[in-house]
Amino acid sequence: MNYSDRLKRLPVQFFSTLVNKVNKAIAEGRDIINLGQGNPDQPTPSHIVKALQMAAEDPQTHKYSLFRGLPELKEAACEFYKREYGIQLDPETEVAILFGTKTGLVELPMCLLNENELMLLPDPGYPDYLSGVVLGNVQYDTFPLLEENKFLPNYSMLTSEQKEAARLMYLNYPNNPTGASADRAFFEETVRFAKENEITVLHDFAYGAIGFDGKKPISFLEVEGAKDVGIEMYTLSKTYNMAGWRVGFAVGNAEIIEAINLIQDHLYCSLFPAVQMAAVAALTEDQQCVADLVERYEKRRDVFVAACQKIGWNVKASTGSFFVWLPVPDGFTSEEFADLLLDKADVAVAAGNGFGKFGEGYIRVGLLLDENRLEEAVSRIEKLNLFK
């Protein structure tokens, strides 16, 4: 049996490789502190679970769902965006229900680009963006996210040829893996850039709820003209600890939303209705669970960063997401340092080069363990005598 050329071209799944390394170490009986994951460690809030249980008991949810999702969930998404960001959306034309936003991110190039047309991706960036490139059979260039520019793209670094050829661009703030945030001025610049160069923008807002130091992350759609050029994808995975539930949505430009709905008409018959009703409860009911979650991550960030700085590791605090982006000591590549931490300290981290060329020189840590384990991880690393 021969695989298709498209399947053969798919990149090695970075996170799968990382998980295999960690699982091998655990199978050897070692106490691994796993900071390399992006999987929320807290349970889904109980009121959301109860909403699922109640909906699952209704025989009506056992049938095929409406192809484009329940009206109740689309309306809940609109209510959520109005409440949280002051954005007015039409539930019929400006919302598409997704099987988690990873699905939407991979689908979008197939919706909007023809074979070999160009899209622009951040570097470092979420590795699965590249899956959409291959499955869509399109081309891509990257733009660097550099520390000196607060890990925001500098559009002036793009060539005139890239600006002319590109039809689609992905952004992601708060950012995975750097933990950086974007401000209104940057998104205003992005809208101008997109209009001038006729480039569609996808803003991956996966960590939209998680901002620190009293600063709430801004939605791309809050900026005037954003709906003219793009959409935003929002997942319930991080905000409500619903990673395994696989539910999210895209909002914004009606033509793009229709393209997503059209391709999904041919791929799926929408999400299990009970999951959709649980998502309605998450988006519309008491949001104290979200405030508690953000407080938890901020406390973990503060404890971890302070511990790193105490041993001489020059770490800067992230402003959003549940990640910290740390510089690698001199004399190591990202992968060498990550392997050293796993082999000698029983601490697993994600090597920065797995997120792109400009991720070299960094590692990513997930704040997805309690403070004691985070401090213990730093204590183990300190014993390697790498920092003075």
Domain residue spans of the chain? 5-44+288-382, 47-284
Nearest Cα to Cα of residue 182 among 228, 127, 122? 122
Q: In sequence order, which residues have a C-beta less than 8 Å from that of residue 373 and are 6 or more positions away?
A: 33
> What torsion do the CA atoms of 321, 327, 328, 330 make, to the nearest 10 degrees?
180
Given CA atoms 326, 332, 335, 336 in this order, what sign does their dihedral have?
negative
What's the mean pLDDT when you consider all of the chain? 96
pTM: 0.96
Cα separations in angstroms, 378 against 2, 54, 217, 311, 372: 47, 44, 28, 8, 10
Q: How confident is the model at residue 17 (pLDDT cuts 50, 70, 90)?
A: confident
The answer, yes or no, to whether residue 270 has pLDDT greater than 90, is no
Strands 166-171 vs 118-123: parallel, antiparallel or unpaired:
parallel
pLDDT value, residue 281: 98
Please compute the mean of the pLDDT values over residues 45-64 and round it to a whole number.
Answer: 96
pLDDT value, residue 84: 97
The answer, yes or no, to whether residue 243 has pLDDT greater than 90, is yes
The alpha-carbon radius of gyration of the chain (Å, integer) is: 21
Kind plus residue range of the DSSP H or E element containing 335: helix 334-345
Q: d(Cα 118, Cα 299) in Å, to the nearest integer?
A: 41
The answer to whether residues 95 and 78 touch, using CB atoms and an 8 Å cutoff, is yes
Strands 230-235 vs 139-144: parallel, antiparallel or unpaired:
unpaired
Q: What percent of the chain stands above pLDDT 70? A: 100
Q: What percent of the chain stands above pLDDT 90? A: 91
| Domain at 5-44+288-382: CATH code | 3.90.1150.10
Please compute the mean of the pLDDT values over residues 26-31 and round it to a whole number.
Answer: 93
Strands 200-204 vs 230-235: parallel, antiparallel or unpaired:
parallel
Please compute the mean of the pLDDT values over residues 176-198 and round it to a whole number.
Answer: 98
pLDDT value, residue 244: 95
Residue at 280: amino acid letter? V
Q: d(Cα 349, Cα 177) in Å, to the nearest integer?
A: 12
pLDDT value, residue 170: 98
Q: What 3-state class would DSSP assign to 187?
A: helix
pLDDT value, residue 269: 85
The answer to whether residues 325 and 332 touch, using CB atoms and an 8 Å cutoff, is no
The answer, yes or no, to whether residue 168 has pLDDT greater than 90, is yes
Q: Residue 130 corresponds to which tokens in the numbers above?
A: 């590249």
DSSP string, 360-386: TTEEEEE--S-HHHHHHHHHHHHTT--
Q: Convert the pLDDT of each residue in 298-312 to its tens digit.
A: 999 999 999 999 999
Q: What 3-state class would DSSP assign to 287?
A: coil
The answer, yes or no, to whether residue 44 has pLDDT greater than 80, is yes
> What torsion do the CA atoms of 345, 151, 176, 311 make, to the nearest 10 degrees?
20
Please compute the mean of the pLDDT values over residues 272-277 and round it to a whole number.
Answer: 97
Please compute the mean of the pLDDT values over residues 258-284 and round it to a whole number.
Answer: 95
The answer to whether residues 302 and 317 touch, using CB atoms and an 8 Å cutoff, is yes
Look-up of token digits 């300190």: 382
- The number of helix segments (H) and strand segments (E) in the chain equals 15, 12
Q: d(Cα 350, Cα 364) in Å, to the nearest integer?
A: 5
Nearest Cα to Cα of residue 213 among 146, 305, 149? 305
14-28, 231-245, 264-278, 312-326: least confident range: 14-28
Q: How confident is the model at residue 335 (pLDDT cuts 50, 70, 90)?
A: very high
Q: How confident is the model at residue 386 (pLDDT cuts 50, 70, 90)?
A: very high
The answer, yes or no, to whether residue 388 has pLDDT greater than 80, is no
Q: How many other CB atoms are there within 10 angstroms of residue 330's CB atom? A: 7
Q: d(Cα 127, Cα 171) in Å, to the nearest integer?
A: 13
The answer, yes or no, to whether residue 384 has pLDDT greater than 90, is yes
The answer, yes or no, to whether residue 12 has pLDDT greater than 90, is no
Nearest Cα to Cα of residue 202 among 239, 159, 238, 166? 166
Please compute the mean of the pLDDT values over residues 98-120 and round it to a whole number.
Answer: 96
The answer, yes or no, to whether residue 193 has pLDDT greater than 90, is yes
Check: CATH 3.40.640.10 for 47-284? yes
Q: d(Cα 154, Cα 180) in Å, to the nearest integer?
A: 14
Q: Residue 70 corresponds to which tokens in the numbers above?
A: 């329940």
Q: d(Cα 102, Cα 247) in Å, to the nearest integer?
A: 10
Q: How confident is the model at residue 46 (pLDDT cuts 50, 70, 90)?
A: very high
Burial (CB < 10 A; 0-12, 13-18, 19+), residue 5, is exposed
pLDDT value, residue 90: 98
The answer, yes or no, to whether residue 156 has pLDDT greater than 80, is yes
What is the CA 161 to chain-centroid distance, rounded? 29
